[in-house]
Amino acid sequence: MMILVAIGLPLVAVIPILLADDFPNLREGISLATGLIVLTLIVQIYGAVSAGEMPTVDVIEMLPGLSITFAIDPLGMLFAGIASFLWIVTTIYAIGYMRGHHEENQTRFYACFAIAIGSAIGVAFAGNMLTLFVFYEILTISTFPLVTHHGTEKAKKAGRTYLGILLGTSIGLQLFAILWTWVATGTLDFREGGILEGNIQGPMVGILLALYVYGIGKAALMPFHRWLPAAMVAPTPVSALLHAVAVVKAGVFTVVKVVVYIFGVDFLADQSSSDWLLYMAGFTVVVASVIAMRQDNLKRRLAYSTISQLSYVIIAAAILSPISIVGAAMHIAAHAFGKITLFFAAGSILVASHKTNVSQLDGIGRRMPWTMVAFAIGALSMIGLPPTAGFISKWYILQGALDRDLMFAVAVIIGSTLLNAAYFLPIVYAAFFRAEASLSHSTHPATGSHDDAGHHHAVDHGEAPVAIVIALCITAGMTIALFFFPDVPLGLAQDLMGGWK
């Protein structure tokens, strides 16, 4: 029952959220209360999972042996915990951002956000590929109105790209892979060791793997990555949802599930036709990092950073060793908290100063110290330096590559770490150690200045609204806390591989 309530409650909460349209405090209170209840349920379910149980519930049988089923494994527990916790934090952030930036359609935002979280938890708790696919598609459709939130022609174009790529890949490739798996095995259940061994062999393994990986467009493996930077036209809380809370996490989560529970790590390791995945993921990591270095718009730089970081998870899965799979699961958690901190900081800068470009951030750390210290923590985690969670996940991935003597993976991890430092550290340096740019001679200091959209803002700004600062401090704090206290995510990651230590 707790499983069904955890998935269904966010979906049911949409109704009172919509009814509270004229009462913003009530509307946002409903969102927060629902998030707290869901998180409480997830924590209770975790207690059962940590005790060695695998709670399961069959909802409806579609065909003989094929049903909508929920079964909680360690990886799903980790994803659900991240999504439910960050829903609360993002709602706190959104209260400050949506009001501080005077956004329209706020009720629609909170309603769609609730549907997205409910569907993300459905993905996390899916007991087979059919169930996962259903909630994967609900997640895509529910986030489309968020991407097109502003209603401008640019937003609508971004929405078409978003929907076109994600639905096109899932229906055209992933669904075909699911049908092929059903025909070959007679089941779509997630099982330890996979279900394909003995049912498919040779080059067909690599082809089916490609259909799955590229059909999971939310993982943003090149060339199906364009939806992600296009979606940056959305408000920052939506960017946080896309990059940290639900959408891309559903993508890499599904890739890991497919590798571990559909193909099986040992089976794939014996198939040379699957080797291409490591090289394609490595290519994506490096190319996306190089593109990120060239982006002056802060959110676009973060978007290409996300594309790169997601492929760390795919590399870890493609290394096909127990320690690298643990690293993949850990990086899902590390990236969630580190990247949401960076997007929270970008939104904080926008609300307080109306600045959107990296070249505008000289000296901003003196006016917005909380925001930029949090940004620095998130950046260190993306680079993979202690004391942040990103160091732990990258360490495990690197160890896996060394254990299997995959020097290409080692070179990609080390090289991309240097590239990450090259496009993140100059932002931190400029924010704290460069003098703030003087006002344009055409702007009178008493009247302030205007941003690119023509909005007037005062020159003498400080921090963003307190709700924004609280949220980004929480996520930055969690990024550090997971370095010193990684037991919960690390334990779940190890349980994913049968308790491997």
Looking at residue 449, its pLDDT comes to 42
Task: Specify whether the CB–CB gap between 456 and 315 falls below 8 A.
Answer: no
For residue 465, what are its two tokens? 């609204």
Looking at residue 204, its pLDDT comes to 92
Mean pLDDT, range 133-153, rounded to an integer: 90
- Model confidence at 452: pLDDT above 60: no
Q: Label residue 456 by pLDDT band (50, 70, 90).
A: very low
State pLDDT tens for residues 263-319. 998 899 888 888 899 999 999 999 999 999 999 999 999 999 999 999 999 999 999
Judged by DSSP in three states, 321 sits in coil
Looking at residue 287, its pLDDT comes to 94
Task: Specify whether the CB–CB gap between 377 and 388 falls below 8 A.
Answer: yes
Long-range contacts of range 421-428, CB-CB < 8 Å, 24 or more positions apart?
Answer: 421/383, 422/293, 423/289, 423/292, 423/293, 423/301, 423/305, 424/305, 424/379, 424/382, 424/383, 425/379, 425/383, 426/358, 427/298, 427/358, 427/361, 427/375, 427/379, 428/365, 428/372, 428/375, 428/376, 428/379
Q: Label residue 101 by pLDDT band (50, 70, 90).
A: confident
| Interstrand relation of 449-450 and 456-457 (parallel, antiparallel or unpaired) | antiparallel
| Omega within 30 of 0 (cis) for the link into 223 | yes
Q: Label residue 438 by pLDDT band (50, 70, 90).
A: low
What's the CA gap between 403 and 324, in Å, rounded? 9
Share of the chain above pLDDT 90, in %: 62
Residue 380, CB-side half-sphere exposure with 13 Å CA sphere = 19
Judged by DSSP in three states, 162 sits in helix
Mean pLDDT, range 166-188, rounded to an integer: 93
- Model confidence at 341: pLDDT above 50: yes
Looking at residue 281, its pLDDT comes to 94
Looking at residue 421, its pLDDT comes to 94
Bridge partners (DSSP) of residue 213 are: none
Mean pLDDT, range 447-470, rounded to an integer: 62
- Model confidence at 140: pLDDT above 70: yes
- Model confidence at 441: pLDDT above 80: no
Q: Which letter, b or e, does each residue of 251-275 get, where b requires 16 or more Cβ atoms within 10 Å of its Cβ?
A: bbbbbbbbbbbbbbbebbeebebbe
Q: In this structure, how many other beta carbons lie within 10 angstroms of the beta carbon of residue 455?
A: 11
Mean pLDDT, range 152-179, rounded to an integer: 91
Looking at residue 453, its pLDDT comes to 42
Task: Choose from 225-229, 393-397, 492-496 the range with maximum mean pLDDT.
Answer: 393-397
Share of the chain above pLDDT 70, in %: 94
Mean pLDDT, range 318-342, rounded to an integer: 92
- Model confidence at 440: pLDDT above 70: no
Sequence-separated (6 or more) residues with CB below 8 Å from residue 93: 237, 240, 344, 347, 467, 468, 471, 472
What's the CA gap between 98 and 300, in Å, rounded? 20
- Model confidence at 459: pLDDT above 70: no
Mean pLDDT, range 397-421, rounded to an integer: 93
What's the CA gap between 324 and 337, in Å, rounded? 20
Looking at residue 52, its pLDDT comes to 76
- Model confidence at 500: pLDDT above 70: no
DSSP codes of every residue in 273-290: GGTHHHHHHHHHHHHHHH
What's the CA gap between 475 and 481, in Å, rounded? 10
Looking at residue 96, its pLDDT comes to 87
What's the CA gap between 127 and 37, in Å, rounded? 23
Q: In this structure, how many other beta carbons lie within 10 angstroms of the beta carbon of residue 51?
A: 7
- Model confidence at 111: pLDDT above 50: yes
What's the CA gap between 268 and 280, in Å, rounded? 16
- Model confidence at 366: pLDDT above 80: yes
- Model confidence at 386: pLDDT above 80: yes
Q: Label residue 501 by pLDDT band (50, 70, 90).
A: very low
Summary mean pLDDT of the chain: 88
Q: Label residue 458 by pLDDT band (50, 70, 90).
A: very low
Q: Label residue 146 by pLDDT band (50, 70, 90).
A: confident
Residue 492 is which amino acid?
Answer: L
Q: Label residue 460 by pLDDT band (50, 70, 90).
A: low
Sequence-separated (6 or more) residues with CB below 8 Å from residue 135: 119, 120, 122, 123, 126
Mean pLDDT, range 253-258, rounded to an integer: 93
State pLDDT tens for residues 203-212. 999 999 999 9
Looking at residue 231, its pLDDT comes to 83
In 3D space, the residue among 226, 177, 205, 213 whose CA is nearest the CA of residue 274 turns out to be 205
